[in-house]
Chains A and B, each alone.
Chain A
Amino acid sequence: MISFLLNNEITHIDQTKADLTLLEYLRDQQKLTGTKEGCASGDCGACTVVLAEVVNHGKNTNDSLEYRAINSCVTFLSALHGKQLISVEHLSEQKKLHPVQQSLVEHHGSQCGFCTPGFIMSMFALYQSPTQPDREGVIQALSGNLCRCTGYRPIIDATLKACENKIVDKFQKVEPETINRLKDITKQNISTSNLIVPTSREALASARATYPDANVFAGSTDLALQVTQQLKTYEKLIALSAVPELNELTENEHGLLIGAALPLGKLESKLLQHFPQLSELLWRFAATPIRNQASLGGNVANASPIGDMPPALLALNAKIHIDDGAQKRIIPASEFFLDYRKTALKPSQWIEAIFIPFTAQNNYVRAYKVSKRYEDDISAVCAVFNAEIIDGKVHSINNGVGGVAAIPASVTALSEALNGELWSSKKTFETGNEILKQAFSPLDDVRASKSYRIAMLCNLWKRFWLETNQSTQKIETRIVHIPSATSEMPDA
C-alpha cells in the first residue's frame, strides 16, 4: 500500500495500474486540474508538483522537510510513499496567496497562465530551500519550466523578490506536525499488486524471480516515456527506490560510492564537492525537476549514446557494482556499455551502486557539453577529459565522449599516442586533434550533423588543452559562467 500526504490528507493507494503517472492520478482521479499536461515527456514543466520528504542531515540534528520539484508526468505512484505531495491548489491559505504566488501576480509573471502552476511549484520548492537564491540559483531552479509568453524576465524578478524576504509560510508553521505524520507512515509493505516496491535486497531478488518480465525503475523519467509517448502498457513494475543499498551515498579515502537509485539531485552537492569540474555536466543535465527524480544508475543502465553522466564515469574510471541478490560483481565502466542501448547487465541483475575513484593531484579534469540550448537539452556532443600530467608530461588521458557513437565511448588512442609527451607542446594538442578527428563516424540527426559533431569533439579537446595550459590561461574561453565550477587546478 502506497501511503502519503496528498496536500494535507493522509492517502492510501491499495490498487493501481503499475504505469499510472502521477499527473493522470492528480487530474483524472483526484480532479486536481491545476496541474497541467504540456508535453507528457518531462520537457516543459507544466506538470510540476513538489514532494516534501523528511530528511536528517546527521547526528544531533533535527529532522527537517526537504522540498523537491518533480515532473508529475513521468512519475509513477511509488515515488509518493512516505512523502507529502503538494499541488498548486494547496499553496494558498483560504484566499490569501502564498508569497510566491503573490509575487508572480505582482510582477505580471503570468500571461496565458498554462505554464504558471508549474512555475509556481518550482518557485515554491526554491522558496523552501534554506538559502536565498541569486539570479543563477533562480535560473537553475526554474530551468525545467518553459514559458512561451513572458520571456521569463518577470518570473525571474518575481522569484528573486519572493525569496528575498521569506516569511514563515503555512507549510513551515506545521512542519513538526507534518514530519510526525510522515514518520508515522510505515516503511514496510509498500507494494501494491501491480507496482512492486521491494524494501530490501532480498525482496528485490525475490520480486525479480517472481516477475522475471517486469521492468525495474528508479526515477522512472525514462521508462515513463514508453507509457506516455509510445503508449506501452506495463502490467507489473518493480521500483528500486526503497531498497536501502541502492540509496546510499558513502565516501571513503578512495572515492565515492553512489547508490544506483539515488536521484541526481541528492548526490549533486557531494559529487561536486569532490569533482567540481563536473559542474557544467550536472548543470546542463536535463533540468532541476528531472534531476530530482532521475538516478545515476538509470542513466547508466539505459546506456543512451548521449547519456550525460556515462562519459564522466568513463573518464574518471568509475566502477559499476552489479548485483542479482546472490552474487555481486564489479566491472569497470569501460566494459559496461556494449552496443546501442545494450549493456553488460544480465536479465536478473541490477546496478547496485557506482564507484567513482578520486583523482590524483596531478590530474586535470574538464567536462564539456555542446547543445542547441543551455538548459534542459540533450548533448550534440559531450566530452570529459581526465589528463594525468606528471612533471609537465602526459601520463595518461582518460576520457569519455557522448553523441559521437552508438554508445558512450572512450578514445584510448589518446593515452597511447600522447604518453610521455610534453602537455604544453602544441604538437601534443595537434596529435590529439588528429586522433579525435578520425576516432568516430557519428550520425547526422535532429541535434547535429556528423561534421559538426567531429568538429566539436576536436574543439572541446582544444578548449581542454588551452584551459589547462598556464601560458594560455589568460585567453577567454567561455561565454557562460559555470555555476560553482572552480578554477582550481594543480600546477603543471
Chain B
Amino acid sequence: MRKLIEQPGIDTAMQGAAGKSHKHESAARQVSGQARYVDDMPEATNLHHVAIGVSPVTAGTITSIDLSQVKSSAGVIDVITVEDIPGHIDIGPVYPGDPLLANSEILYHSQPIFAVLASSVTLARQAALKAKIAIAESQACLSVGQAKAQDNFVHPPHFMHSGDFETSYQQSPIQIEGKMLIGGQEHMYLEGQVSMAIPEEEDRILVYTSSQHPSEVQKLIAEVLDIKLHKVVVDMRRMGGGFGGKETQAAQWACIAAILASRNKVAVKLRLPRMLDMMVTGKRHPFENRFKVATDNQGLIQATHVEINGNCGHSPDLSNAIVDRAMFHADNGYFLADSYIEGHRCRTNQVSHTAYRGFGGPQGMIVAEAMMDAIARKLGKDPLAVRKLNLYGKDNRNTTQYGMQVEHNLLADLIDKLEASCDYQLRRKQITEFNKSSPLIKKGLSLTPVKFGISFTAKHLNQAGALLHIYTDGSMQINHGGTEMGQGLHTKIGQIVANEFGVPLSHVEVTSTRTDKVPNTSPTAASSGTDLNGKAAQNACLAIKHRLADFYAEQVKGDPKQVVFTEQYVVLGDEQIAFAELIQQAYMKRISLSATGFYKTPKIHYDRNTGKGRPFFYFAYGASCSEVSVDTLTGEYKVDRVDILHDVGKSLNPAIDIGQIEGGFIQGMGWLTSEELLWDDTGKLTSNNPATYKIPAIGDTPEIFNVDLYPRANDEDSIYHSKAVGEPPFMLANSVWCALKDAISSITDYQIDPVLHPPATPEKVYNAIEQAQTWVEKQA
C-alpha cells in the first residue's frame, strides 16, 4: 500500500526534553527580521488607517464637536464618535467605566473622542488635528490625597485583619511610622498598541491584534458591534512586549478598528504613535502607602498596620484586583503578627491605571522592605539581620495577614545561600570602611527577599485550554490560550508537548493564539501562562497518548499502562515502533489524532467578606543582593554588582527562566530608579515620550550580574514541578532601592533611614543626601 506521505528521516538528536535551554522558538526569525508583528503583515489593497482625536483637557463636559474639517481633510473616508458605536459603549473589562470614545464627559487628559479613517497613516493623523471641540472644563482630581478628601473611589475598600493590632502596637517598645509615595511605571513595550481588522462575509470579522487577552478582545468587539461572539475571530501570533499593558488596554484599539472596518467594509489598521500611546494608555498604579510597625527590642515584629492607597485613574479597569494584590504582598516574606491591612481604590482624572508585571505586588512589597530598613536603623542593626529575624517561621509565625499558611517556605535557606555566595558579610565590612574614607562617593549594599503568590486572585481565571493536532507524518500543532509576548511561553509549551511524545522540538509547531481554536481563554497574566496552559497542553497530549497506547498495546498484546513514548519511538516491553509509523497506522485504523486539554488550578479559594483564604496555589521565592555607588555631588549612582538566587521550581528551560529573571530585575530597577512619570498641574502627562521617560539603557546593566536558580522542585503539582517566573523577579530590584538608601544612610553613620520615595531619580537621591548632611550638621 502506498504510504500516506514519505517518511522523513528520523532525528536522532533528542531536542524535545523539557528542562533544557532551548532557544526561543522565534529567535532565528527575530534576529533576521522575519518575525512578523501586526504592523508587518501583508496589507490588503483596501487597507485604511485610523488616527485618534483626543481631549486637550483633563476634566469637563463636551459642549460641541465640529468634525467638518476632519471629514474634509485629504484622504479621509470616515469619522466616528461615540454616537456611531452600534452596540455597547462601555468596554470596561470587569466593571463598567471605560467608554470606547468619550461619552460627553471628559475623564482624563488625551481621552479619545473620535477616530478618523483615511488612506494613509499620515493623512489620518493630520486630519485628527483639525477637530474643533468645545469642552466646559471642570475641576480635575489629580492625586490620591484629593481623591480621599473627596471620597472619590472606583470601588469600595477592602480590609484584612489578623489579631488585635491596636493593643499589640501600644504594648510594644519600638514603634515606627512611615509614608511612601510610590511612582507608577510606563510599560514602554517596544511595539506600541496595534490592531488590524478585516471585514469578512456579512457581519463576520477577523482581527489581528497585539493583545495579552484575545478572548476579551473578541468579546468586546462583539459587544461594540452588537453581534454574537462566534462572528468574531481574534488572532494573536506575538507581541513586541506586553508586561500587562496589553492585558485590558489593547482592546480599545481593536474595537475602534473593528467598528471602522465593519462600517466601511475595508481592512483597517490602527497603530498608535508612541507619544499618544504613552498618553492614552494606563500605567502601573502610583500608590501612596503608610505603615505603622511595632517590634520588640530585638526588632521582631509584634504589630503592623499598612494603609494602601492605589491611584486607579478614572475607572476601575483591573484596579480592584491590583490593590488587593498590593495588600496580599504587604508582608513580602515577613510575619506581620497582629496586623491590619486596608486597601483603598482612589479615583483620579488620569488614564485608567492598569496591569503591570507584579500587578500591585511590587507596591505592597516595597512597604515591607521600607519597614525592615526603618526597624534596622532604629535599632542600629544590619538590615539583613532584621530581615532574617522577621521571615515567616516553619511551625509558628507562619500565617499571612489573609490567613494562608506559608508552606514549603524556602526563604531562610535561600537567603543563607545567597548571603554566603555573594560574600555579604565581608563586603558589608569593606563598604563600611570605604565609606569612612570616601567623602564624596558612597557605597551601599542590600540583600532583599521576594515571596510572590502565584494564581489569579479572580478564581475563575485559573483555567486554560489547549488543542493538539497530530498530522499523518507525526508532526504536530499545539494551540493554547496563552499569548507569546517574548517570555518564551510558546517555547516551553512546545517543549512540554515534545517531551510528552518523545519527539524533537522541531516536530512541534506552536500556532498563533486564536479564539476559534481555544475558546474563552484567560489573559496571559499573573505569571500563569505556563502553569495553566502547560498543564492544559499536557492534558491534550495525555488524551492522545492514551488512545495510541491502547491501540499499540492491543497490537502487541501488552498492557497499555506500560507504553512509553521516547526518542521518537513508542515502546512496550521488548516491542517498539517508530512514532510516525504508529501515527500512520492509527490514522488508517480511524483513531482520532486531535484532542483538547483543559486545566483548572486546585486548592485555591478566598473569601472577600472575611479577608481570609488561600488565594495562591503556591509562592515563588527569590533574593537579590545589590551594591551601588552614589555620587553625593549630583545624586547620580551606579549599580555595581548584583547577585540573585531565584526559585523557579524545576526549570522547564533554564535559559528562558534566567532571561525572565534578569529582564524582570532590570525592569524593576527602572521602576525604582530612572523611570519617573510626571504630570503637569493641569493633569497632562509630561513624561510622554522616550526622550523624557527613561527606561534603563544598556549601560545601566550591572557589570557583575550573577544569577543562579535555586535547585528545588515545586512541592505543589505544577507542570513538571516548575514555578511561574514572569513577575516574581521584578521585585528582586527592591534591593537596588534599599542599597541606595544604605549608601545615603552611611553619611549619618547608619543612624537614620533616609526618605527616598521611588523612583529614586538622581534628583531625589540628591535631596535625600542633602537631608542626611543636614542631619549630620545638626548633630555636630
Contact = CB atoms under 8 A, between A and B. Distances in A.
B190 A38 contact: yes
Interface string A303-334: 00000000000000000000000000000000
A154 B699 CA distance: 13
A477 B694 contact: no
A155 B705 CA distance: 13
B62 interface: no
Nearest to A88: B33
Given A38-B191, A46-B190, A111-B24, A373 B34 contact: no
A452 B667 CA distance: 26
A39 B274 contact: yes
Contacts of A376: 697
B690 A43 contact: yes
B584 interface: no
A22 interface: no
B40 A375 contact: no
Nearest to A122: B698
B190 A36 contact: yes
A44 interface: yes
A37 B485 CA distance: 17
Contacts, number: 246
Interface string A465-479: 010000000011111
A238 interface: no
A39 B690 contact: yes
Contact of A480 (B243, B638, B655): B638
B697 A373 contact: yes
B2 to A, nearest CB: 32
A134 to B, nearest CB: 11
Interface string B434-473: 0000111100000000000000000000000000000000
A357 B87 CA distance: 71
Contacts of B659: 108, 111, 149-150, 154
A101 B31 CA distance: 6
A375 B187 CA distance: 20
B744 to A, nearest CB: 14
Interface string B748-762: 000000000000011
B663 A106 contact: no
Interface in A247-284: none
Nearest to B662: A151
Nearest to B487: A111
Contacts of A155: 698
A142 B697 CA distance: 9
A466 B703 CA distance: 28
A41 B26 CA distance: 27
A97 B637 contact: no
Interface in B756-780: 761-763, 766-767, 770
A229 B692 CA distance: 14
A447 B692 contact: yes
A113 B240 contact: yes
Given A115-B190, A151-B665, A106 B30 contact: no
Contacts of B274: 38-41
Given A153-B701, A374-B699, A475-B439, A114 B663 contact: no
Contact of B441 (A38, A110, A445, A479): A479
B32 A97 contact: yes
Interface string A344-368: 0000000000000000000000000
Q: Residue among B126, B659, B761 with the most chain A CB within 10 A?
A: B659
B382 interface: no
B125 A452 contact: no
A479 B275 contact: no
Contacts of A153: 662, 701, 705
B432 interface: no
A165 to B, nearest CB: 18
A446 interface: yes
Interface stretch (A403-411, A412-420, A454-462): A454-462
Interface stretch (B216-224, B626-634, B713-721): B626-634
B27 interface: yes
Contact of B32 (A92, A147, A371, A476): A92
A151 B663 contact: yes
Contacts of B662: 150-151, 153-154
B746 to A, nearest CB: 14
A269 to B, nearest CB: 20
Given A108-B24, A146-B190, A155-B698, A97 B31 contact: yes
A87 B32 CA distance: 10
B33 A87 contact: yes
Contacts of B39: 33, 37
B307 interface: no
Contacts of B27: 104-105, 108, 110, 113
B160 interface: no
A139 B699 contact: yes
Interface in B12-66: 21, 23-24, 26-37, 39-40
Interface in B616-640: 629-631, 633-634, 636-638
A399 B692 CA distance: 27
A232 to B, nearest CB: 9
A422 to B, nearest CB: 22
B689 A110 contact: no
Given A114-B37, A463-B633, A148 B32 contact: no
Interface in A22-48: 32-41, 43-44, 46
A112 B241 contact: yes
A41 B190 contact: no
A479 B666 contact: no
Contacts of B191: 36, 38, 112, 114
B188 interface: yes
A148 B689 contact: no
A479 B24 contact: no
A112 B189 contact: yes
Contacts of B687: 446
B128 to A, nearest CB: 9
Contacts of B655: 108
A43 B190 CA distance: 11
B630 A150 contact: no
Interface string B476-495: 00000000011110000000
Contacts of B192: 38
Contacts of A101: 28, 31-32
B125 A231 contact: yes
Contacts of B187: 148
Q: Residue among B30, B655, B663, B700 with the most chain A CB within 10 A?
A: B30
A370 interface: yes
A476 B663 contact: no
A135 B703 contact: yes
Nearest to B30: A113
A97 B766 CA distance: 47
A478 B126 CA distance: 47
A43 B440 CA distance: 32
B239 interface: yes
Contacts of A478: 441, 631
14 contacts: A89-B32, A111-B487, A111-B663, A112-B242, A112-B485, A115-B190, A143-B697, A151-B662, A154-B662, A370-B634, A372-B694, A375-B700, A459-B634, A480-B638
Interface of A: 32-41, 43-44, 46, 87-89, 91-92, 97, 101, 104-106, 108, 110-117, 120, 135, 138-139, 142-143, 145-156, 229, 231, 233, 287, 370-378, 380, 445-449, 452, 455-456, 459-460, 462-463, 466, 475-480
Interface of B: 21, 23-24, 26-37, 39-40, 122, 125-126, 129, 187-192, 238-243, 273-275, 438-441, 485-488, 629-631, 633-634, 636-638, 655-656, 658-659, 662-667, 674, 676, 678, 686-687, 689-692, 694-701, 703, 705, 761-763, 766-767, 770
Given A38-B192, A111-B487, 14 more contacts: A32-B33, A33-B39, A89-B33, A112-B486, A113-B26, A114-B191, A145-B698, A152-B666, A152-B701, A229-B275, A375-B699, A446-B686, A452-B766, A478-B631
